Amino acid sequence: MNLTLHVWRQTGAAAAGRFERYDARDVSEHMSFLEMLDVVNGRLIEEGKDPIAFEHDCREGICGSCGMVINGRPHGPVPRVTACQLHMRSFTDGDQIWIEPWRARGFPVLKDLVVDRSAFDRVIEAGGYVSIRTGAAPDANAVPIPKRDAERAMDAAACIGCGACVAACPNGSAMLFTAAKVAHLGALPQGQPERYSRVRYMLAQHDDEGFGSCTNHGNCEAACPKGISIDCIAQLNRDAIRAALGKGTEYAGAAGGGA
Amino acid sequence: MRRVAAFYQSTVGKKVAMAITGFILVGFVIGHMLGNLKAFQGAEKFNHYAEGLRELGAPFFGHGQVLWLVRIALIVSVGAHVLAAAQLTLRSWRARPAKYHAAPHLELSYASRTMRWGGVIIAGYVAYHLMHFTLGNAHPDFLPGDAYHNLVVGFQSPWVVAVYLVAVAMLTFHLYHGIWSALQTLGASHPAVNRWRRGAAAALALVVLTGFAAVPVGVFAGIIR
Ligand code: FES
């Protein structure tokens, strides 16, 4: 099939970008969206032009690096699919396809379709971890976890950090990403000691990164390639309220209390 | 307290403030609507009710005292609701500076998309409504103390009725998304009830729509006269 692409080209973070038009000829419907871009890039290189920069790594929907907005939808038209797993059979001959980077203040564009998602790393560093004793690996299943909690944690842990939630959000909020980690760790016994400090620190970092405020539209959930539910956001809100009311500080300041 | 203050500085804290004040205002809206419906019981009952509002809390409180306490609580709630909304809106506009070429709405509903400007319209309407029926300076023939007369005369103009109906429709949308959203913000989420939250918000919004629309339509249709 033959397609017309309108691709956002931007030479650097400070540069002004614009859409440029490319013809993609003889695209096989079995190609992935990224393979189609590879073919277009191959031709651009042959012509001595600058290829379209886009991020990619695993190409199997698990690393979260291939985010781009295709026809206004993060990762394109197929729900629960990353751009690398999107096949060209989802398009039809003669389609016009608009391809843009994630657009959010928290994700500055580096080049073309590549954005800087290190804000996510800083949100995780702020509290998206559990502190454990290192040493010999503990026995598997040493800590019993109810099936329901394990399932909830696994559902939230499916987040690949791609940023589609931010891209889809009219508020540029990263609440679904932040909440997925809060819900994931908060559902597990290992996550309890830091549960309430975690939500405070991660929320503060989320806000510091310039992400917007969630208005419960639900666009993030619809755009998420992993189907993370906005129930996670309700969980984050609940934990944040409890933290503000003093949860997690019961022993703070006790005589001789640790750091 | 320091924690609560710090929480209020966060995006979630401001939303929680909006949710709490929102629920206070929803409570007021429902009470107001029920009071309005007394117009169908005739002039005497309605005026008695209107005057009774000033005697709330009697004999413990004096004439108009509780009414003013309620008014102050409402003014504070509206102020806090609007302030937090404005701050969060500005923040979100900054967070999303560029638009997409053609973005479908995905999950955006009409109600969720119109929360901000719909809220502004509702605020403007409230100002008009107060001038119309409380202060009376936007009323053609305002008689202090005769609420029923003011009501019937006030809704003779089709334009006024139209303004009220539009405002009530905006309020309905605002409540539909707002009530659901406030539950989400307060973390009132549980697998057993999540299916019902949207339905409950829709039902309450429809009750408000029906209850508020009934009176201006009733006057205009000549049922209340
Ligand atoms: S390239 Fe890894 S998720 Fe698409």
Q: CA-based angle A149:A154:A155, to the nearest 5?
A: 100
Max CA pair span of chain B: 64
- For B100, which of A100, A203, A249 is closest by C-beta distance? A100
Residue ranges per structural domain of chain B? 2-220
CA of B171 vs chain A CAs: smallest distance (Å): 17
Contacts of B103 in chain A (CB under 8 A): 69, 72-73
* CB of A74 shorter than 6 A to ligand 1: no
Query: A231, B97: Cβ pair inside 8 Å?
Result: no
Residue of chain A nearest B104, judged by CA positions: A72
All domains of chain A in start order, with CATH: 3-111 (3.10.20.30), 118-251 (1.10.1060.10)
Share of chain A above pLDDT 70, in %: 96
Q: Which chain A positions have a beta carbon within 8 Å of B12's beta carbon?
A: 203, 213-214, 236-237, 240-241
Average pLDDT over residues A173-190: 97
Indicate the pTM of the whole model. Answer: 0.93
Mean pLDDT of chain B: 94
Question: Which pLDDT score, from 0 to 100, does residue A250 have?
Answer: 60
Task: Please judge whether B184 and A234 are an interchain contact, meaning their C-beta atoms are less than 8 angstroms apart.
Answer: yes
Degrees to nearest 5, angle at CA B140 with B138 and B142 = 85
Nearest-Cα residue of chain B relative to residue A248:
B3
Residue A258 has pLDDT above 70, yes or no: no
Fill in the amino acid letter for B166: V
Mean pLDDT of A36-57: 97
User: What pLDDT does A150 receive?
Assistant: 96
Average confidence (pLDDT) over A92-121: 97
Interface residue of B8, B87, B88, B96 to substitute, partner A, most A CBs within 10 Å? B96
pLDDT band at A253 (very low <50, low <70, confident <90, very high): very low
Instruction: List, in order, residues 6 or more apart from B97 with CB less than 8 Å away.
Output: A103, A105
pLDDT of residue B17: 98
Is the pLDDT confidence value at A12 over 90? yes
The token duo for B85 is 């909304």
Closest CA to A192 of A238, A254, A130, A258: A130
* Of A62, A68, A70, A224, best ligand 1 pocket probe by most atoms within 8 Å of the beta carbon: A62
Q: CATH number of B2-220: 3.40.50, 1.10.3470, 3.10.450, 1.20.1300? A: 1.20.1300
Confidence band (pLDDT; 50, 70, 90) for A75? Answer: very high
* pLDDT for the residue numbered A148: 94
What is the rounded distance in angstroms from the CA atom of residue A237 to the CA atom of residue A246?
14
A81 Cα: distance to centroid of ligand 1 (angstroms): 10
Is ligand 1 within 6 A of the CB of residue A63? Answer: yes
